[in-house]
Homo-oligomer: A and B are copies of this chain.
Amino acid sequence: MSTKAYAAFNAEDPLKPHIIERRALDPKDVFIKIEYCGVCHSDLHTAKSDWGPTNYPAVPGHEIIGRVEAVGSEVTKFKAGEIVGVGCMVESCKHCHSCNQGLEQYCENGFTGTYNSTKSKYGGVTYGGYSENIVVEEDFVLHIPDNLPLENVAPLLCAGITTWSPLSHWNIRKGDKVGIIGLGGLGHMGVKFAKAMGAHVVMITTSESKGADAMNLGADEVLISKDPEQMKKHAYSFDFLLNTIPVAHDVNPYLLLLKLDKTMCMVGAIEPLPGVHGGVLINKRRNIAGSLIGGIKETQEMLDFCGKYGIVSEVEVIPMKDINEAYIRMQKSDVKYRFVIDMKTL
């Protein structure tokens, strides 16, 4: 079916209106009219071929909220009219060890990304959420709680689950001292989730003003990481650190904050980290780990949790035509904390 979308055609050009084709409904497919789509750093990286050659034209967007318009004959979980979500994945092998555990993000045969993937069993390249509509297998569609503003829910599908998954995996609970490093799209969700899980939440940032913002979002304390005295005072005191800084940086000052046997989990910096010090790991049996988005089952659990505790992302809603300006502002971290496109404006 021919559908309007916004696409990148090469690494330099801005996104432009375009017509794409969506597949006809398979028996297990859900046809979704998109209402809102969050703007993730990955969208820009893909538009610009930052992560290897992009398959152009590329339609970004993997924080998708929409309404079911039609379902295939074998769909059991969704009905027309229902509000649903789609995140970073639209297919996986469903039979490997990871998929069997509900960890499709670590599919041993590689999941199919919501956009720019050539791995789909339906052929072609996947097109994302900067689009009128999308067709997705029901196993990769999420139920959305009915008590939350939809534009604020969209970023939960990537920024939300990316921070929820490690906090849940490392079993954060009441009384834990948890540091969230960096306050952006990911970090602000980390603060909200860790707080709701009962942790004592410390915002770790270079910026006094971001510290103040984090306190407004629910943080219990601020640690200014460029102040060696403050860093020393908090040394060896954290149960978990969620590091959302999106670029390479010296992680050793943060590692020194961890107690014996505790972990710092990286979710932002997908690049080489300079000089992780073996001695800092060895001296207190500390760990550095990474975590990638989250599985479908835990994404649903996160959404249900958000419904129960009234947690959403802080967003700035934009019309489709402002996307290129939003990209420029996003690169300067000039957004609190996520742009969301209102798809009525396409």
Please list the residues of chain A having a beta carbon within 8 angstroms of any beta carbon in chain B.
97-98, 103, 106, 108, 169, 236, 248, 252, 260, 263, 266-292
A315 → B minimal CB distance (Å): 25
Q: CB-nearest residue of chain B relative to A260?
A: B106
Cα distance A75–B327 in the bound complex, in angstroms: 72
Cα distance A100–B103 in the bound complex, in angstroms: 37
| B285 and A287 contacting across the interface, CB-CB below 8 Å | no
Cα distance A267–B283 in the bound complex, in angstroms: 10
| A289 and B281 contacting across the interface, CB-CB below 8 Å | yes
Q: Which residues of B are found within 8 Å of A280, using beta-carbon distances?
A: 290
| B272 and A278 contacting across the interface, CB-CB below 8 Å | yes
| A279 and B271 contacting across the interface, CB-CB below 8 Å | yes
User: Is the contact region of chain A dominated by helix, strand, or loop, or is it mixed?
Assistant: mixed
10 contacts between A and B (CB under 8 A): A98-B260, A266-B282, A270-B278, A271-B279, A272-B274, A272-B275, A272-B277, A281-B290, A283-B292, A286-B289
| Most central of A248, A252, A266 by chain B CB within 10 Å | A266
A290 → B minimal CB distance (Å): 3
A173 → B minimal CB distance (Å): 18
A238 → B minimal CB distance (Å): 14
Cα distance A283–B108 in the bound complex, in angstroms: 11
| A290 and B278 contacting across the interface, CB-CB below 8 Å | yes
A294 → B minimal CB distance (Å): 10
Q: CB-nearest residue of chain B relative to A279?
A: B270
Q: Which residues of B are found within 8 Å of A282, using beta-carbon distances?
A: 266-267, 270, 290-292
